[in-house]
Every structure is written in structure tokens, then in C-alpha cells.
Amino acid sequence: MTGVRSRVDLRTDGAAALDWAAQYLERVGEFPVLAQVKPGEIRERLPDSPPEEPEPFSAVLRDLDEVLLPGITHWQHPRAFAYFSVSSSEPGILAELLAATLNSVAFLWRTSPASTELEGVVLDWVAQLLGLPSGWHGHIEDTASTSRLAALIAARTATGRDLVLCSEQAHSSVEKATRMLGMRMRSVPTDGEFRMRPDALGDLSDAAAIVATVGTTASTAVDPVPAIADACEAAGAWLHVDAAYAGAAMVCPEHRWAFEGVERADSLVFNPHKWMLTPMDCSLLWSRRPEVLRRAFGVVPEYLRTPDAEDALSLSEYGPALGRRFRSLKLWAVLRCYGASGLREHIRRGVEFASMFEGWVAEDPDWELCAPRHFSVVCFRLKGDDERNRELLARVNAGGDIFISHAVLDGRYVLRLAVGQMHTSEEDVRLAWEVLRRESVGL
């Protein structure tokens, strides 16, 4: 082969990198979950300028261990309980390597027919697994934030209006998207269980879209989608459903109640990179009105023109990005290597562990539960004031045994334990409870 070559040999250095990955996953539970470094500390250890001469890959691996690893917050750790627990599973890891090897740039059907068509297939597969209607058009974006941006642009295109409504518990990416788009946002109050109150939607004559969340970020509340769908229909507004986290739970029939009414959505987002064993990043956006997305995003300059039959399949015409990664490969690998049964088992483990933890909190008179638990997230706090809980959170996270995060619900500071990491065992959840109780002493 000609051309500029690095000194890297894919077989020998690749074997070393895979060995590094395997060893990392074997020992990840030994690290402090939250990186114990100060801002700027990692940067200080890195050279100011790039090397003039080529270095071997072994130097990169060495610095990964010696320089970067102390600055890694370990999301693959069995006791990573903060925000939403995510997992990059072995099939996903290997498929990412292969996707980088192929380096497809799937902006037109012809630039990557396999990537484009596999993307359609895995979106149909996942729709089946979650009980979504057949026939929806789906494609993959990087994150739910981008999927949301796309959905709201479609809503504006369809309605010619600029007002977006969502509950006060909706993810901040709604506000961010409306700000970027110059649209207006109105927060709708929630009920005692943090669900949107459809009776408080108010005047919808300017409404472009209502965003309903199935599994809110703070407490995993489920908005009443059927009533919100009624309101959208009456007002001619777009219904966007955000199931970024809780969508994964729909692989289990016992959780399908939470998807009641979603078949009436104009668009729906779900992130396999949250609770479905798929490496960052992978956000699925379905729509039953793909022609609107295409109207909004289908800018085709001369150099991208191809015969019509191909054009209709170019996924870059359905979202903001032109260049698109081969993200479907990792999702396909996950779906095939776990099967529906493996995915259900993963979800059920997370829910069972969360339910166990919820039981311990409920039984202890020094602690209280702060929201209904629907899936794998428990919102709780030490009885007493916000300051006590803030201090407790700082203590437990500084210790490094566990990593949890917080939210504000009903104006109160609450702690969140989010289960879902594929390495988490019952012992890890027990340890989390032990650490919390130990660190609460003397507060």
C-alpha cells in the first residue's frame, strides 16, 4: 500500500488495544467511580504541542493508563448510579471498531447503501421490540438533543407556528432547542407525581408542538400521553414523545402501560445509548410524518443529486447532519448478540435492584422516598433539610465507592440512584445503601 503510513500495525497494536479494553472491563470496579481530579489537572499533564515525529501506538496506550485514566469518570463501573446508568456492551464495542474501520459516510444512499438500509431495518426491529406501530419512518441521530431539534423543526414546518409546550419536568434540551430555533417555550405545571397536567395546557392556538415525556429525567414520571394527544389533535399541534431513557423498558410487556397513546405521536425519540447496552452515541427518531422531516431538511445541492429512487432513501434529508456515521452497526450487533430475551433480562435486573433499594429506604425512619418509582431510578433523601442532603452527596461521591446525582423535586433537593449499568450486581446496590448510611452519620 502507498500513502503516508503511521507506525501502527492493526494486528499487533489492535490486539494490545483489545487486551486493554478487556482488562479495563475486568478491573473497572476497582477505580473510584467519579474521577478524583481537579479542573485543569489532566490538561497540565499533556504536552502543549503535537509531536513532530510519529510515535508508536504503545505510547498512546501508555498515556491512556498513566495520564488519562485518573481523569476518567467510569460510566462502565458497576456502581455508576448517577444521572442515567449507561452501558457499552461487548457487541457494541466491537461493532464500533468495525464501523470505524469501514468509515462509511452515509449522506446519500449510494455513499453507503448497506448503512442506510441496515438503519431502516434496525429501526423497524426496535419499533417491534418496543411495541411501536409498524410503518413509522426511523433514523439515527447522535443524541436525543439533536433528535428533539429535528422534531421541533418538523413541527414548525408542519404548523407554521412557534410555541412549544412541555412539562416543567421536561429535559432541558427542549429549552435549548427552542432557544436555538428562536421558538417560544411554555412550561406546563405537573401534578403530585410530576406528570404534566393536561388541564393546565392553556391556550394552544399558537402551539407548534407539545413534548410529552415518558420517563422524565429527574423522577422518570410518565406524562399522560393519551390526554396530551387529544389536546394536540384538537389544536393541530405536533406531538413529540421523549422516551429517551424509559423507551428501553418497553421491551418488557409489564412496562408497556407507559407507552399508552404513543401510537398517536408525530415523532418519538428513544436512546439505546442509555439503557439498551449500546455505546454512545445512538438516538433513534421515528416519525409517522417523514414527508415533513424531508420538507424541513431536504436541501439538495447539485453535487448531491442522484436519481430519484436513491434520493428518497438518503437519510441526510431527514435530519440536520449531512455526514452520518454507521451507527446502526453497533445497534444491530447488540440486538443480535443479546436477543430480545437478553434485553428483557437486562431491564428486569435494573428494575429489580432499584425496587430492592426503594424497599430499604422505605423501611428506614431516617430516610424518605421522594417520587414514585416506575423503572430503575429511585428518588430519595435523608430526612431533614436540603443542606444535609447536599453535604451527603458531596461526601459519598468524594469517597469514590459509588457515584450518584441529585435533582430538585417540589422545590426540595433529592438524591437519585439510577440502576442500569450492565456490571451492577445486588452486592453493588447493597454497598450503595451501606455507603449512604455510613456517610450520613454525623450530618
Ligand X SMILES: Cc1ncc(COP(=O)(O)O)c(C=O)c1O
Q: Is 416 in the site for ligand X (CB under 6 A)?
A: no
The C-alpha torsion from 219 through 76 and 50 to 9, rounded to 10°, is -140
Q: Is 145 in the site for ligand X (CB under 6 A)?
A: yes
Contact 28, 76 (CB under 8 A): yes
Q: Is 143 in the site for ligand X (CB under 6 A)?
A: yes
Q: Return the number of the residue (244 or 347) whose C-beta is nearest ligand X.
A: 244
Q: Is 283 in the site for ligand X (CB under 6 A)?
A: yes
Q: Grid coordinates standing for 2?
A: 502507498
Angle among Cα 15, 20, 25 to the nearest 5 degrees reads: 130
Minimum CB separation of residue 294 from ligand X in Å reads: 23
Q: Return the number of the residue (216 or 314) whose C-beta is nearest ligand X.
A: 216
Q: Is 245 in the site for ligand X (CB under 6 A)?
A: yes
Q: Looking only at residues 262 through 281 of this chain, which bind ligand X when binding is defined by CB under 6 A?
A: 271
Q: Return the number of the residue (235 or 284) whose C-beta is nearest ligand X.
A: 284
Q: Looking only at residues 287 through 316 of this chain, which bind ligand X when binding is defined by CB under 6 A?
A: none
Task: Give CA–CA dist 275/248, Å, rounded.
Answer: 6
Q: Return the number of the residue (223 or 358) whose C-beta is nearest ligand X.
A: 223
Task: Give CA–CA dist 366/68, Å, rounded.
Answer: 40
Q: Return the number of the residue (72 or 144) whose C-beta is nearest ligand X.
A: 144
Q: Return the number of the residue (84 or 332) whose C-beta is nearest ligand X.
A: 84
What are the beta bridge partners of residue 414? Answer: 407
What are the beta bridge partners of residue 368? Answer: 381
Binder to ligand X among 123, 244, 284, 285 (CB under 6 A)?
Answer: 244
First-to-last CA distance in the chain?
A: 66
Size of site (CB under 6 A) for ligand X:
14
Q: Is 89 in the site for ligand X (CB under 6 A)?
A: no
Minimum CB separation of residue 390 from ligand X in Å reads: 21
Q: Looking only at residues 322 through 361 of this chain, which bind ligand X when binding is defined by CB under 6 A?
A: none
Q: Return the number of the residue (108 or 209) whose C-beta is nearest ligand X.
A: 209
Q: Is 84 in the site for ligand X (CB under 6 A)?
A: yes
Of residues 414, 120, 347, 17, the one with CA closest to residue 9: 17
Minimum CB separation of residue 141 from ligand X in Å reads: 9
Q: Is 171 in the site for ligand X (CB under 6 A)?
A: yes
From residue 96 to residue 135, the character string flagging contacts with ligand X as x (rule: CB under 6 A) and all else as - is: ----------------------------------------
Query: Residue 216: CB partners within 8 Å, gap ≥ 6?
Result: 167, 169, 170, 171, 194, 222, 223
Most distant CA pair in the chain, distance: 72
Binder to ligand X among 104, 115, 169, 173 (CB under 6 A)?
Answer: 173
Task: Give CA–CA dist 85/417, Å, rounded.
Answer: 9
Query: What's the alpha-carbon Rg for the chain, to the nearest Å?
Result: 23
Binder to ligand X among 96, 162, 223, 242 (CB under 6 A)?
Answer: 242
Of residues 414, 416, 420, 389, the one with CA closest to residue 403: 416
Q: Return the number of the residue (112 or 213) whose C-beta is nearest ligand X.
A: 213
Minimum CB separation of residue 283 from ligand X in Å reads: 5
Distances from the Cα of 293 to the Cα of 26, 115, 206, 215, 380, angstroms: 44, 20, 20, 25, 41
Burial class of residue 54 (count of CB atoms within 10 Å of its CB; 0-12, 13-18, 19+): exposed
Minimum CB separation of residue 300 from ligand X in Å reads: 27
Task: Give CA–CA dist 427/409, Å, rounded.
Answer: 29
Binder to ligand X among 89, 116, 213, 328 (CB under 6 A)?
Answer: 213
DSSP annotation of 249? G
Task: Give CA–CA dist 159/238, Å, rounded.
Answer: 8
Binder to ligand X among 76, 89, 112, 217 (CB under 6 A)?
Answer: 217
Binding residues for ligand X (CB under 6 A): 84, 143-145, 171, 173, 213, 216-217, 242, 244-245, 271, 283
